Structure 1
Amino acid sequence: MTKKIRLIILLSILAICIMSVGGYYLLRYSSSTIEPSIERVIYDGKPSESPLINTSGMTQETRILAPEGYIREHADENSLLHYIRNMEVLPHGNPIVAFDGKELHDDCAMVYAMDIGAHDLQQCADSVIRIYSEYFWSRADYDSIAFHLTNGELMRYTDWRNGKRLVAAENFSTQLKMKGKNESYECFRAYLECVMNYAGTKSLYEESKTIPLSDLKAGDIFIIPGSPGHVVMAVDMAVNPNGEKCYLFAQGFMPAQSFHLINNDKHPDDPWFYSSELEENLEVGSYTFKPENVRRWQDGF
C-alpha cells in the first residue's frame, strides 16, 4: 500500500470520527447552559451542636472554627488555601444534592455553594479538578489549567479557548481547530465538562506525586486510583504550639453531587482530622486511605 493511499484512508477515518463523534461533543460541551433547569431548595439553616461550627459563617473560614489550642495556618492572599477558605458555603443544615437536584443526605459538616453542573460529571476527581481550575481562573493563570485524560491526552485550556476541540472515539482522541477564540467563563466551563468526561482518579494520580504525610497541606490529596477509585482533598489546616497539625477534608462523589466537607466519624462534633489520626488511616465511607495514599498534584500550590 502506497503512502498516498494510507494517507487517504487515515483522513477518511478521521473525517468519519469528526462527523459521528465530534459533532456530538461540540454540541454537548459548547453549551452555555451549565446549571440544570431545576429549582434547588436552599434551607435557612439549623442550630449546630458543635462548638466548632459557626452557623452564621458563610465561608469555609468563618463557618468552621479552629479547635481549641490550634491556630489556622497563615495563607497568602494569592494562595489556593486563601481561595478555598473564602469559598461560599450554603446555610448550615443544607443537604448534599445530586446534579439533577435530588436530595441525597446531610452526612457532612458543610456544603459548598459551588454549582454541580447539569450532567453527571462533577464527581470526586472532577471536583478536585474544578477547584484547581477555578483557582487558576480567578488569578488569570490560564496556562496552568491543563489536565491529562485517562488515555494520556493532555488538554490545555489555552488550546480550548483558542478554538481547539476534542474528537474522541474509544481510545482514540485528537484535538482539532473547530471554533473561534472564546475567552468567556461559559467556554471555560465547557472545557471543564469535557475534561471531566474523560479524566478521573487514574489520570489525576498520574499527574501527582507521593509526599510524606508530614508535608500535607491544602490542595494535596488522598487518592486511590481505579474505576471507581476515590479522592479527597485537604482544604484547610491548623497547628498548635507543639507543631501538631489538623486538617479539613472535602470531596465530591457519585453521582455528581455537592462538594462538601467530610465529617470525622471519630468525633462527630469536631470535623477536623488530627495528624495523629491520619498516621493510622483516613476512613471515608467504604474507602480507607493510608499515609502512602497522600499525593501532591504537579508541583503543589
Structure 2
Amino acid sequence: MHGGNIFAGEIFLSPSAYQTDTFPTIEEHIKPPPGYKRVDVILGSFADYLRKLPVVDGLSAVKDYKNRQRVAANDSALAAVIPVDIMDKPLWQCMDIILVFYADYLKQNKKQDEIKFPLPDGTILSWNDWMKGSRPAFQGLNFKIFNKASPDSSAKNYKRYLNCIFEYSGTQTFFYNYPQVQINDLKPGNFIVKKGPKGHAVLIIDLAVNEKGERIALIGQGDTPACQFYLLQNKQGSPWFKVTENEYPGLPIRKKMYWSGLRRFPAFE
C-alpha cells in the first residue's frame, strides 16, 4: 500500500489483490534507457510522490469501474498499471484521477490547506471550506459558496467533496483556469489537457535527460468510462516518449494531445 494516508485505502488496491506481497514503485520498475538519467526532483514534492506510485509488476489488464477489462494486458499501448481501486467510482475519469493523486499527495504531506480546486467559472472550492459546511450553488452565470451543512472531517465527506468537484468541473475547467506551461519548462507532475467538448487529460509522470539535453517522459492516463490509471507505451515498445518541439507528443491514444494544453497545479513546485 502506498503511503500512510488515512484515505489511501480508497485509492490503491492491496498487493494481495494481485497475488503478491508488495508493489514496486514506478521508479524501481521502470528505468531510463541507457544514456539517460532521471531529472532531479525535490524530496516530498508531487514529482517525488509520482515516482513512488505503486505499479503492478508483470502483465496486467486495466480494469474499469465495473471491474470489466478496459485495456488488455497485451495491448501495445500499455506499459504498466497503477493498481488504483476504481471499483464503483464512475467519476474517477481522466482529469479526475489526476486530481485524486494530487489531493492524496497534499494529504500525505500535511498540506491539507492546499486541497482546493476550481469550479467551471473559476470559483475555488477548498476541502477546508467543504469540511466546515460550505457548499456550491449555481446562481445566474456563476457559482456561489454557501454555508449549508454541518462540519464533517470524515473520509466519507472527503469523498463527497472530491465527487462534487468531479461532477461540476470537467477537463475544460482546468484547461482555462490552471497556468499554462511552456514545453521548455516541462516538469513531472504537469499534465496535458485537450481543448474542446471531447476533452481528455494525460499526466507527465517522470522525465529523464541525456548529456545532449534531450528529454524523454513517462506519460500516463485514466479514461472515460473511469478506469485504472496506466502508463502508456510508444510504438517501439518503450514507456519513454521523446519530448520535442513538435506540436504534439504523438501518444498511442484515440485523442490527439497538444503541447499547447500543457498545464500545472497552481501550487506546483
Task: Place the TM-score, normalised by the shorter chain, in its bin.
Answer: 0.7 to 0.9
Aligned equivalent of 2:68, options 99, 102, 109:
102
Aligned equivalent of 1:176, options 141, 146, 149:
146
Matches within 5 A, 1:35-184: 42-43=17-18, 58-106=24-72, 107=75, 108-116=78-86, 118-167=88-137, 173-184=143-154
Matches within 5 A, 1:269-284: 270-276=238-244, 279-284=246-251
3-state secondary structure, aligned to 2:113: helix
- Aligned residue identity for 2:191: I
* 1:201 matches 2:201: no
- Separation in 2 of the partners of 1:177 and 1:295? 31
- Separation in 2 of the partners of 1:42 and 1:167? 40
Aligned equivalent of 1:237, options 207, 222, 235:
207
For each residue in 1:153-207, what CA deviation from the matched residue of structure 2 results, as whole angstroms up to 9, or x when unmatched? 3211111111223445997754333333333333222211111111111111122
CA pair 170-199 structure 1, distance change in 2 beyond 3 A? farther
* 1:288 matches 2:259: no
* 1:264 matches 2:234: yes
Higher helix share: 1
Q: How far did residue 137 of structure 1 move?
A: 1.2
Q: Which moved more, 1:191-200 or 1:149-158?
A: 149-158
3-state secondary structure, aligned to 1:192: helix
CA pair 152-290 structure 1, distance change in 2 beyond 3 A? closer
State the number of aligned residues.
252
Aligned equivalent of 1:220, options 157, 165, 190:
190
Q: How far did residue 119 of structure 1 move?
A: 3.3
- Aligned residue identity for 1:188: Y
3-state secondary structure, aligned to 1:289: coil
- Aligned residue identity for 1:109: A
- Separation in 2 of the partners of 1:259 and 1:62? 18
CA pair 42-263 structure 1, distance change in 2 beyond 3 A? farther
- Separation in 2 of the partners of 1:42 and 1:279? 41
- Separation in 2 of the partners of 1:179 and 1:274? 49
- Aligned residue identity for 2:40: H
CA pair 103-171 structure 1, distance change in 2 beyond 3 A? farther
Percent sequence identity over matched residues?
A: 27
User: Cα RMSD (Å) of the superposition?
Assistant: 2.7
3-state secondary structure, aligned to 2:41: coil
Bigger CA radius of gyration = 1
Q: Which residue of 1 aligns with 2:268?
A: 300
- Aligned residue identity for 2:48: H
Q: Which runs of 5+ in 1 are unaligned?
A: 1-31, 36-40, 46-55
CA pair 183-140 structure 1, distance change in 2 beyond 3 A? farther
Q: Which moved more, 1:103-112 or 1:284-293?
A: 284-293
Instruction: Check whether the contact 1:43–1:93 (CA below 8 A) recurs between aligned residues.
Output: no
Instruction: Check whether the contact 1:207–1:298 (CA below 8 A) recurs between aligned residues.
Output: no
Q: How far did residue 66 of structure 1 move?
A: 1.1
For each residue in 1:22-43, what CA deviation from the matched residue of structure 2 results, as whole angstroms up to 9, or x when unmatched? xxxxxxxxxx9x96xxxxx945
- Aligned residue identity for 2:27: E
- Separation in 2 of the partners of 1:160 and 1:116? 24
- Separation in 1 of the partners of 2:116 and 2:176? 13
- Separation in 2 of the partners of 1:65 and 1:170? 52
- Separation in 2 of the partners of 1:212 and 1:283? 17
Q: Which moved more, 1:281-290 or 1:198-207?
A: 281-290
- Separation in 1 of the partners of 2:150 and 2:175? 33
- Separation in 2 of the partners of 1:143 and 1:60? 28
3-state secondary structure, aligned to 1:214: helix
